[in-house]
Amino acid sequence: MPFKLLEAVFVWSSLGFFQKHLLYFCKPWVPPPQPAVLVLLFWLPTLFPQVYCRLRPLSVPDQECCVKVINTTTVQVHPPDGYRIFRNGEYKEVQYSFKEVFNIGGTQKHVFDVVAKPLVDDLIHGKNGLLFTYGVTGSGKTYTMTGSPGDGGLLPRCLDMIFNSIGSLQAKRYVFKLDDKNGVEVQCDVDALLERQKREVFQTPKTPSSKRQIDPEIADMINVQNNCKAEEVDEDNVYSVFVSYIEIYNNYIYDLLDEGPFDPIKPKWSSCGTPVRSADFILPQSKILREDQNHNMYVAGCTEVEVKSTEEAFEVFWRGQKKRRIANTQLNRESSRSHSVFLIKLAQAPLDASGDNVLQDRELITFSQLSLVDLAGSERTNRTKAEGNRLREAGNINQSLMTLRTCIEALRENQTYGTNKMVPYRDSKLTHLFKNYFDGEGKVRMIVCVNPKAEDYDESLQVLRFAELTQEVEVARPAEKPVCGLIPGRRFKNQRSITEVLLQNFPPMSSCELLDIHDDQTLPRLIEVLEKRHRIRQMLSEEFSKNGMLQELDSSIVSKENYAQVKMAERDKFIAAQKTEIERLEKKAKTLEYKIEILEKTTTIYEEEKRNLQQELESKSQKLQRQVSDKRRLEARLQGMVTETTMKWEKECNAPPVRIRHRRSRSAGERWVDHKPPSNVQTETVMQPHVPHSITVAAANEKALAKCDKYMLTHQELASDGEIETKLIKGDVYKTRGGGQAVQFTEIETLKQESPTGRKRRSSPSSRSPAEEGTESEWTDVETRCSVAVEMKAGSHLGPGYQHHAQPKRRKP
């Protein structure tokens, strides 16, 4: 027995020396310490969003039903009694097909196994997933997602499967550290330990302890006892789970894990419409969406909690669930007034060659996400009787669901007809947050919850129609999977006992039992074996000391090789990115060439139009020049006429006065301006025109016209028989807007003198005497005199102004 103890002490005393070097000495199971980075591309086949249909039980057993399950993939909707749509004498029945239909008796476990389990398996293998429930209000969406006491829904079952799969492979807290740009990095053990100590000193409720008592309210929900695990979990990786919980309320994003106190049912507002600021209530701050360097959308500033168990994760969810906005409506006692999104993020990174530490290369970190969305139900306000805030909430809910439908229809139209119609993701926070999934960043699955009662016939018809349409949208994209290049199984393989390795290298021990007191062979053999082992130990020590420099050199060479491989991988990735960029630029160049061609054609059309317009402009310019020339000639002509008329009037005004014989006028008794030009010839007739109370003037003036309201012009001309004919042209005097006076002629009285002997009419104007021609030329014809308007401005010293409206008669040559 003492010799066996001596052997054990000898072996374990050598352990400290050999432990460091034996890991590199045993070549068959020691990989390089620093791995090369390889990125493999796996092309996924063309995928379609998988849509499932689930029917909830009727609340009343004898209630009328409008939805019937035909088989495991088809449902039939028929109008209820009294609401039948007749077509050719028969009412219309519509059938809708889905990936699978869960009948009224379907269990939560069956729904999870078919719908959610593959998404969780993809999450653990580094792929993204989106699962959302859709339907009218009161159709069982929240029940499907959350469950009830004793029968957990999809969310607790997903958490249970995740932690059952990675429970023993999880990293310590704060080894994975999230940044504020939707990224993750690996901290060394020292930094993680300091972070844990810091959090323990300043303990916050954001990270609940998994050791404290579970809330009895949720204990039955998470006790699923399913023990479901993912297949082929990489045991050479370490994992960490982060959860966050948000809601989209009135198209604003709020963090349900925020620690500020909040009333989810009735926010407190003052009478002025402003939030009440008190110590018990702080208005929550809405969050904004941002895009990370990989073009994925995320909620900036959202609380993300690292959890280590199903109980801890569901407790975080339940804390946010209590803050979710719900309200009582005519159709649902606890109607969700917002879309809730529970995000499960899984970070994983490989271990190093020794299987003890996590590699801190960010390119080797896989960061996947599973989004569980409980959409608020669409509703009609005439049925819910919503008013005030409830009405506004219903409008925003229906608007976001309509935007989701518009995006799906636009994607389907682009893929069906090859169009490039813009998909309006930004019209709603819901579609903007998950636009990457529809662009091919992960699997999309939807559960359409239907209440088969007859009152929901119209709403259920629209929901089923949209859900069936969603299945026709394709989403496909190559997924990148980082491969570290290390030998699999190193986590447990490197944990083999070093004692076994040492014992295999030493000679076997002989028997140490002394059966006889006179035995003189056992002890010498034992001493010989121990001396041999001691010599082997010394040889190994000398060999290790001699090869120390070689090992360091070998490590340096291996490190350089790994560094070169990493650089080559980075260069290959850079070349691939450059090729992609070149392809993009080539496509852009082709597009620009096409645009240039169109612009050249457009330029040719515009140049032709420009030439036509220039020709038209030149022709119009020439026409305008001709009109200007004609206008100038007309102005010159009119100027000559004005000069001639002015000279004629001056000649009339400068003629000597003639004694006038008066005759009584028919217009006696009014205030008149009697205008008698000096060129008139005094007749020797007994009857002479005479107006009492008149102002007689030789030329019209402003002063005389201002005092009278009647005007009379005495005009003389030769009649056809050669006698003098006197015309009294009468008119009314009006004040003008400019402060002067104007005359409007109203009637003409004619006084004619005839000779009793008569006078022969001249047969030709050529026989006139020069005296007669002179006399006739001094007279003004009646058309010219009667077409004169007299207007004078107040304060004018230039006398009356004359404007001729009729063309003067010209004598024929």
Q: How do residues 481-497 score in pLDDT, each as one tens digit?
A: 555 666 666 666 655 54
Cα–Cα distance list, 513 to 338, 516, 523 (Å): 81, 9, 9
Q: Cβ contacts of residue 206 below 8 Å, gap of 6+?
A: 257, 259, 303, 305
3-state SS, residue 364: helix
Q: Looking at per-residue confidence, does 521 or 750 come out higher? A: 750
Supply the pLDDT for residue 232: 86
Q: Is the pLDDT of residue 243 over 90?
A: yes
pLDDT at 557 over 80: no
> Taking the mean position of all CA atoms in its chain, how far away is CA 583?
28
For 227: left if phi > 0, alpha if psi spans -120 to 50, otherwise beta; the answer is left
Q: CB-based contacts of 37: which residues, under 8 Å, 6+ apart? A: 361, 363, 364, 482, 484, 485, 565, 566, 569, 570
pLDDT one-digit tens code per residue, 108-151: 999 999 999 999 999 999 999 999 898 888 888 889 999 888 88
Per-residue pLDDT band for 568 (boundaries 50, 70, 90) equals confident
Q: What is the mean pLDDT of the chain?
A: 76
- Of 744 and 723, which is predicted with more confidence? 744
DSSP state letter for 668 = T
- HEC string for 630-656: HHHHHHHHHHHHHHHHHHHHHHHHCCC
Asked if pLDDT for residue 54 goes beyond 90, the answer is: yes
Q: Please check the confidence at residue 352 and state whether its pLDDT lies above 90.
A: no
**pLDDT tier, 53 (very low <50, low <70, confident <90, very high otherwise):** very high
Is 138 labeled as ligand-binding? yes
Please tell me the least confidently modeled range out of 31-45, 469-483, 762-776. 31-45
pLDDT of residue 586: 93
Q: Looking at the DSSP assignment, which residues form a beta bridge with residue 178?
A: 184
- pLDDT given for residue 199 in this prediction: 77
- Give the Cβ contact number of residue 641 at 10 Å: 14
Overall pTM > 0.75? no
| Residue of 19, 15, 121 lying closest to 356 (CA atoms) | 19
CA atoms within 13 A on the CB side of 764: 3
Helix%, strand%, coil% for the chain, nearest 5: 40, 20, 40
- Give the residue with greater pLDDT, 682 vs 177: 177
CB 80 within 8 A of CB 64: yes
Is 141 assigned a ligand-binding role in the annotation?
yes
Q: What's residue 465's pLDDT?
A: 86
Q: Is 136 annotated as a binding residue?
A: yes
- Contact between 306 and 217 under an 8 Å Cβ cutoff? The reply is no
SS3 letters for 547-563? Answer: CHHHHHHHHHHHHHHHH
- 273 appears as a binding residue in the annotation: no
Q: Which amino acid is at 772?
A: E
3-state SS class at 134: strand
Q: What is the model's pLDDT at position 483? A: 58
CA distance 116 to 344: 13
Are 413 and 421 contacting, i.e. CB atoms less than 8 angstroms apart? Answer: yes
**pLDDT in the model for residue 161:** 93
**Distance, CA of 265 to CA of 279 (rounded, Å):** 19
| Per-residue pLDDT band at 10 (split at 50, 70, 90) | very low
Query: Quick count: other Cβ atoms within 10 Å of Cβ 550?
Result: 9
Whether the predicted pLDDT of 306 surpasses 90: yes
Q: Flag whether 139 is marked binding.
A: yes
What residue type is 367 in one-letter code?
F
Give per-residue pLDDT as tens, 410-444: 888 887 777 888 888 888 998 999 888 877 778 88
Provide the pLDDT for residue 81: 77
Over residues 369-379, mean pLDDT = 87
Domain layout of the chain by residue ranges: 50-205+216-263+284-472, 505-547
Angle at 339 between CA 333 and CA 340, to 5 degrees: 95
Other C-beta atoms closer than 10 Å to the C-beta of 784 total 17
Number of Cα atoms under 13 Å in the Cβ half of residue 564: 6
> In the predicted model, is pLDDT for residue 27 greater than 50?
no
Question: What pLDDT band is residue 605 in, cutting at 50, 70 and 90?
Answer: very high
- Which of 8-22, 74-88, 159-173, 550-564 is most confident? 159-173
Q: Answer yes or no: is 82 a known binding residue.
A: no
Residue 636: per-residue pLDDT: 92
Query: Of the ranges 169-178, 306-315, 793-802, which one carries the lowest mean pLDDT score?
Result: 793-802
**Which top CATH class is 50-205+216-263+284-472?**
alpha beta
Mean per-residue pLDDT, 321-338:
70
Higher pLDDT, residue 509 or 770: 509
pLDDT beyond 60 at 378: yes
For helices 522-546 and 2-25, angle between their N-to-C axes, nearest 10 degrees: 20
Question: What does the pLDDT read at residue 555?
Answer: 64
The mean per-residue pLDDT over the stretch 730-745 comes to 85
